[in-house]
């Protein structure tokens, strides 16, 4: 008998237990472990899904960003070998029919018209025609009343989303070129490149043409074509490839060596993408123009080729100097700018064995004696000969905390490569042709352990310049065209400069404001990295100071111009009163001469001689008019000469003269000044 008082047998109890387990959903076989929900994405896949981060928000901006990335790569490539850049950009429009032929797709006629987005029903067509007729009637009435009549454009239906525009973008340069074996990875593997390291670079993400290839893969599915040759190579590397986005590896279609009969060096990149030239035409042309301003030592040829000949565009931006900025140098990290993760990475990569050598050789502005002082301050657990690999996590945190609290000398700006005041001034004059221009280059300053240099220029007048403030922003010598309102340059120019105090009318004058900032780390804001924030006081004050220096230069020139204008006005007034003054003087002297004869008044010396000449009409009114005019001219010349001597300029019409260097003058010394470079051949 069971102790619990149950009358069920053991077999019945076992069957009942199994039944209860089955009701609860427990299977007879052992449960399989659940698959992990974690998934991974390759870098290429991440940027493909978040293409707006890299500036590929829509087809129009994607076309603009593709051109920008290719041009900046070409400039970097040429400057790396101290070659004067020569860049050719061609955008060729490809119709949908031509694109379909390229990919082997046969066009089909529409069967169900109502299926398409641009379908217009008979009712909608009737409404559109009625609206057009109404507008035409209004225009006819306005014309009868003599009012200005605008041409009525026919109202079109919605454009279909499938009617994409395709463009072949080609960029050719005379730069360094690329090693044959490295080309696939340089274009087909995201986050791999030659620009990584602590130095001033034009790139924002390190993507370059890789993102253009990803966009091409997404929009057209066509590969990119690269031709490249390095100096002294007798072959041209040709590669046709696309990218495996999920694996982040290149997919090579063709990779071969071809004859280089012309001894050309550089790179030519060709990619076919979806784009929109109509909406981003002005942005692309503004970008090319601003790039010509900041790089007057480069030559650009831009072409847009369309099936409609009247839409073709060809613009050449000529080279106006052969003075290249210095090549940016890679530098070491400043102790105040490193974080804990970076310290660990530097320890893993360094070839130094002990702590003293590590501090002395892996950071800037830490001498041997200062490194010893830092180690002594870290505590008794640290010693100069301490083995780096033996440092614990707590000791690394102590090093990081001391770096944040200790005092270090600021890094120098020797590693930076600004455009130069001479190049900036020449670029402004070359592209805008202003009436007045002033430039200023500041000294190197520091924010968060990173050096930066601000260069500024302000122009007045010029061609294709609107009234008011026209702001041109550059970061590491590349133009910034988007999100201008939040930028530190825009806010400083609008809110922190009192233009009236410098004799400049902010709304009426044509003012060009140019600010270029170079640094090992540009503090961009936003995901697109299109503007520099206004929250860094060091950069904000440096921009304000540079603009004020330019304003002071312009004020001096404007004051001298105003004085010259006043002198001209005074001369004009004097000339206007010469006839009346001559007549009055002559009549007085004539009366005196007649009185002397009747009353026999005697005048001695020169006065008597003048009265006698008046009496015999040897001196007439015309004589006084001539003498007064000569005196006004003489005074004006003397004052103009004094003005020209003080200002150092001539008021005569001037024409810019650019002298090219002699080909056989190989050895020379450059003497740089703020407005010119004097080259002495040896």
For residue 642 the two structure tokens come to 């004094």
Contacts for 17 with CB less than 8 Å, ≥ 6 apart: none
Contacts for 332 with CB less than 8 Å, ≥ 6 apart: 198, 362, 363, 364
Distance CA 358, CA 382 (A): 13
203 labelled as ligand-binding? yes
435 labelled as ligand-binding? no
204 labelled as ligand-binding? yes
Best CA proximity match to 643, nearest among 556, 572, 569: 556
Contacts for 538 with CB less than 8 Å, ≥ 6 apart: 445, 446, 447, 452
Partnered with residue 510 across adjacent β-strands are 468
Contacts for 301 with CB less than 8 Å, ≥ 6 apart: 87, 88, 89, 314, 315, 316, 317
DSSP string, 288-321: HHHHHHH-TTSEEEEEEE-SSGGG-EEEEE----
Q: What is the CA radius of gyration of the chain?
A: 39
213 labelled as ligand-binding? no
257 labelled as ligand-binding? no
Q: Where are the beta strands (DSSP E) in 318-460?
A: 436-441, 445-447, 450-460
205 labelled as ligand-binding? yes
For residue 326 the two structure tokens come to 């210095």
Going by the DSSP 8-state scheme, the letter that residue 652 receives in this structure is: S
Best CA proximity match to 651, nearest among 567, 573, 555: 567
State which H helix or E strand residue 164 sits in: none
308 labelled as ligand-binding? no
Contacts for 141 with CB less than 8 Å, ≥ 6 apart: none
Residue with tokens 């004067």: 84
173 labelled as ligand-binding? yes
Distance CA 369, CA 335 (A): 16
Handedness of CA 132, 137, 143, 145 (dihedral sign): negative
For residue 344 the two structure tokens come to 């660990």
206 labelled as ligand-binding? yes
526 labelled as ligand-binding? no
210 labelled as ligand-binding? yes
Residue with tokens 């008082």: 5
376 labelled as ligand-binding? no
112 labelled as ligand-binding? no
Best CA proximity match to 478, nearest among 197, 177, 174, 70: 70
Positions at the binding site: 73, 173, 194-195, 203-210, 529
Positions at the binding site for ATP: 73, 173, 194-195, 203-210, 529
């Amino acid at each position: 008998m069971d102790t619990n008082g149950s009358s069920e047998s053991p077999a019945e109890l076992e069957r009942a237990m199994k039944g209860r387990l089955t009701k609860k959903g427990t299977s007879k076989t052992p449960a399989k472990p659940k698959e992990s929900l974690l998934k991974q994405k390759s870098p290429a896949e991440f940027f493909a899904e978040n293409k707006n981060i890299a500036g590929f928000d829509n087809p129009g901006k994607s076309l603009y960003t593709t051109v920008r990335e290719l041009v900046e790569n070409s400039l970097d490539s040429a400057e790396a070998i101290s070659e004067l850049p020569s860049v050719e950009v061609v955008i060729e429009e490809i119709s949908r029919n031509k694109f379909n032929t390229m990919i082997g797709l046969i066009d089909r006629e529409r069967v169900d018209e109502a299926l398409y987005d641009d379908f217009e029903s008979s009712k909608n067509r009737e409404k559109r025609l009625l609206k057009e007729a109404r507008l035409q009637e209004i225009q006819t009435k306005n014309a009868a009343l003599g009012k200005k009549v605008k041409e009525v454009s026919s109202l079109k239906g919605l454009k279909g989303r499938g009617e994409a525009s395709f463009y072949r973008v080609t960029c050719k340069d005379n730069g360094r070129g690329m090693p044959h074996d490295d080309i696939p990875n340089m274009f087909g593997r995201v986050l791999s490149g030659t620009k990584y390291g602590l130095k001033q670079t034009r790139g924002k993400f390190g993507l370059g043409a890789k993102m253009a290839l990803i966009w091409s893969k997404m929009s057209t599915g066509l590969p990119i074509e690269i031709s490249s040759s390095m100096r002294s190579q007798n072959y041209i590397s040709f590669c046709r490839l696309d990218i495996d986005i999920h694996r982040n590896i290149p997919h090579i279609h063709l990779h071969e060596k071809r004859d280089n009969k012309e001894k050309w060096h550089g790179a030519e990149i060709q990619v076919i993408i979806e784009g929109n030239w109509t909406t981003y035409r002005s942005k692309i042309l503004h970008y090319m123009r601003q790039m010509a301003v900041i790089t007057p030592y480069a030559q650009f040829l831009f072409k847009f080729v369309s099936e409609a000949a009247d839409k073709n565009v060809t613009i050449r931006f000529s080279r106006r100097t052969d003075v290249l900025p210095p090549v940016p140098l890679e530098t070491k990290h400043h102790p105040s700018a490193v974080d804990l993760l970076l310290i660990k990475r530097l320890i893993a990569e360094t070839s130094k064995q002990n702590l003293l050598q590590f501090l002395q050789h892996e950071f800037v502005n830490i001498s041997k004696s200062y490194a010893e002082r830092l180690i002594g301050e870290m505590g008794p657990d640290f010693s100069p000969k301490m083995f780096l690999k033996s440092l614990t996590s707590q000791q690394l945190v102590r090093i990081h905390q001391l770096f944040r609290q200790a005092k270090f000398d600021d890094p120098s700006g020797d590693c930076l490569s600004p455009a130069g005041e001479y190049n900036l001034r020449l670029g402004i004059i070359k592209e805008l042709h202003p009436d007045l221009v002033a430039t200023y280059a500041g000294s190197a300053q520091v924010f968060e352990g990173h050096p930066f240099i601000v260069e500024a220029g302000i122009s007045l007048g010029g061609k294709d310049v609107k009234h008011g403030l026209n702001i041109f922003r550059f970061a590491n010598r590349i133009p910034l065209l988007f999100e201008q309102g939040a930028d530190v340059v825009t806010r400083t120019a609008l809110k922190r400069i009192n233009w009236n105090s410098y004799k400049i009318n902010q709304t009426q004058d044509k003012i060009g404001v140019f600010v270029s900032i170079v640094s090992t780390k540009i503090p961009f804001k936003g995901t697109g990295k299109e503007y520099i924030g206004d929250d860094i006081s060091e950069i904000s004050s440096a921009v304000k100071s540079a603009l004020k220096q330019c304003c002071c230069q312009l004020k001096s020139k404007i004051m001298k111009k105003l004085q010259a204008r006043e002198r001209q006005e005074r001369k004009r007034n004097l000339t206007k009163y010469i006839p009346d003054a001559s007549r009055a003087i002559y009549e007085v002297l004539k009366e005196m001469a007649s009185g002397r004869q009747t009353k026999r008044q005697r005048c001695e010396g020169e006065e008597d001689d003048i009265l006698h000449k008046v009496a015999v009409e040897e001196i007439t009114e015309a004589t006084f008019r001539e003498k007064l005019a000569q005196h006004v001219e003489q005074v004006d010349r003397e004052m103009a000469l004094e003005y020209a001597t003080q200002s150092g300029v001539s008021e005569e019409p001037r024409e810019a003269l650019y002298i090219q260097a002699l080909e056989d003058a190989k050895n020379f010394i450059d003497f740089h000044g703020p407005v010119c470079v004097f080259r002495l051949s040896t």
